[in-house]
Structure 1
């Protein structure tokens, strides 16, 4: 994405304003709550699988890193500032104990945004993130034929 900076308002300064950045990342903040300087709790869109629905709630941390200190791999050390975001905690709402609860559920996400400044005004905003969701279906789904599991899972991908 192209990066247009004003001499009076640098992108680095913008990234230091975490509430503003968070609002840009998550504009529909009806289900968000600021927990502290770096973390927000976000109620995400529901995840549906066959007849089960769950609402993931995540704690997202936004942290600025500067001067090449502890930059993630893939980010050049000469980059002035990196905004790192990461899920630090999560919960599944709407999934009760017992038959409907998955025996295992994992959710992780982390990523970065940073300015890629180039000579000639061709600067860009770069970023990358990795998200992973995995779960083991609850025991009651054992009644569903394997080909239906496979078809539904492929449709979700």
Structure 2
């Protein structure tokens, strides 16, 4: 009886996840790639950082070519500090793989997704000169983007993380 209930719950969960996958938009796919990278292996002890380093602000810029393939993934504000949490290569590879063919419908376009990652219980962000510089680079200048592609700037995503230790 318990086994049947577990099987039923598994089937419902699997069905729900497949339906959700069909409704994915580019910003959802990008966000999922980021959260998968954060939840991946590694360690990021937010508690060991000074308060001004407990928030990371950056954008991911995804370029989609005329055939609907991701041809380039860029990050604003790249640093070793962010890479220790985010793993740029892993995020780029997952977005480029596009297993669910999310980007195929959005040919010849650019998606810019600003992201703020902060420590779960830190609601007092310190606005330092470094943070302001990152903020200025959040949305790239139009002249630095391909003028033949449509540009889509998405709302900022907030990701709250607790101390991650593996």
TM-score range, shorter chain: under 0.3
TM-score, normalised relative to structure 2: 0.26
**Structure possessing the higher relative contact order (Cα contacts under 8 Å, 6 or more residues apart):** 2
Between Structure 1 and Structure 2, the one with more strand by share is 1
Larger Rg: 1
